[in-house]
Amino acid sequence: MPRKYFGTDGIRGLVGEEPITPNFVMQLGWAAGKVFEKQSPGDAKILIGKDTRISGYMFESALEAGLSAAGVDVRLLGPMPTPAIAYLTRTFHAQAGIVISASHNAYHDNGIKFFAGAGTKLPDEVELEIESYLDMPMTTMASNDLGKVKRIEGARGRYIEFCKSTVPYDLRLKGLKVVLDCANGATYHIAPDVFDELGAEVIPLAVKPDGFNINAECGSTSPKSLQEAVLENKADLGIAFDGDGDRVVMVDHAGKLVDGDELLYVIARDNLEAKRMRGGVVGTLMSNLGLEVALTELGAGFVRANVGDRHVMELLRKEGWSLGGESSGHIICLDKTTTGDGIIAALQVVAAMQNRGVSLREMLQGMEKYPQKLVNVRMQGRCDPLSNAQVCSAVADAESELGQRGRVLLRMSGTEPVVRVMVEGVDGAQVSKLADGVAEVVRAALG
């Protein structure tokens, strides 16, 4: 069945516009509470965490009210990375965890996403059941059956220790200078301590959230300041997270960006050499062709999922593999945790570097990225660009010009009203020309 509100990563939008309003979020809390209360009558407990955007306070209160009205106990975590909420939901034996975040979006957006009790994304049938309650009138339990609310103390320390436990106990980062860009988001009070406690010299960036500066000219989507800081401080590497901490990109000692595809290669290569690789690697339709070629040369399998960590996770489970991710920096290490985690992925890369005593750039030897260009075309409403004859013709012409050594991909974003036009091939100039040309046809066709 089609979902009315839930997208590929929860429910997201502009604050103050439906469905991202206090009334709707309270109804959503109540609806979720009704579903999970049925699973554990009289004993349901749900954790709530958030990133650092200003509207998080409002939506935290709205969720709290809805859940309490449904008779569900609430545990408040405050600002915490999304993957931390997945981990804590599991360790506190809660029925679910709720994250208030719009991930890499600007502060004026927000969203709600859920984790099941095992720290994984909710199954489709549970999301559909929650949606069925959203159309019902909200009721309130009798006063003696209302849910109770408590704030969890020590959650930050628990998660820091968990992150450190995903690398060998004897790993020491002494002598390693690292610039950490926390995007003024949820990792601001977590990531610096993780790397500091492992012995690294940490230079923190974007660790002063004010409710409005999350992802603003910083973090994994805007790594320029990180690149400059790495060069200025003569650091060994830089690490940038997004606002809720489930994405990561890096910068090598020369200031060159290292994206999610390259980080996947480093982790996969290290796992293969250590003989702890479980299966192959799951990428997405957007993954660079160079990753596929490099992994094939290493003897590792590679398959592509639809874009979105939800789809990567589904294919990992289907294949029985443990490593997957996206170019954007969503990296899932199922041998370490249950969801994409920027800090944990970064730690695996740094551990691989330290084990070999080489730089991040040297760890990338063996992988050559193909030139790739992505153009975002904004649109009104939602319509399939490939239903337009002129767009189909432009795509076919571009594919013919690229031949067997490139590809063209058009897809609608799951989080923004944009069509993403991606072209990849051997010749960078040709790729750029074709991407701009197809994007212009899409722009004209969609008005």
Active site residues: 103
Of 337, 346, 339, 334, which is closest to residue 249 (Cα–Cα)? 346
Residue 149 to residue 69: CA distance in whole angstroms: 11
Report helix, strand or coil for 20.
coil
C-beta separation of 435 from 374 below 8 A:
yes
Please list, in sequence order, all residues whose beta carbon lies within 8 angstroms of the beta carbon of residue 159, skipping any fewer than 6 positions away: 80, 81, 84, 87, 88, 190
Please list, in sequence order, all residues whose beta carbon lies within 8 angstroms of the beta carbon of residue 15, skipping any fewer than 6 positions away: 55, 108, 109, 110
- Residue 202, token pair as written in the block: 């940490």
Extended strands (E) in 242-301: 248-251, 257-258, 281-284
Please list, in sequence order, all residues whose beta carbon lies within 8 angstroms of the beta carbon of residue 420, skipping any fewer than 6 positions away: 286, 374, 375, 376, 377, 409, 410, 411, 412, 413
C-beta separation of 185 from 219 below 8 A:
yes
Residue 231 to residue 252: CA distance in whole angstroms: 9
Of 67, 8, 81, which is closest to residue 33 (Cα–Cα)? 67
Q: Is 253 left (phi over 0), alpha (psi -120 to 50) or beta?
A: alpha
Residue 319 has phi, psi (to 5 degrees) of -80, -20
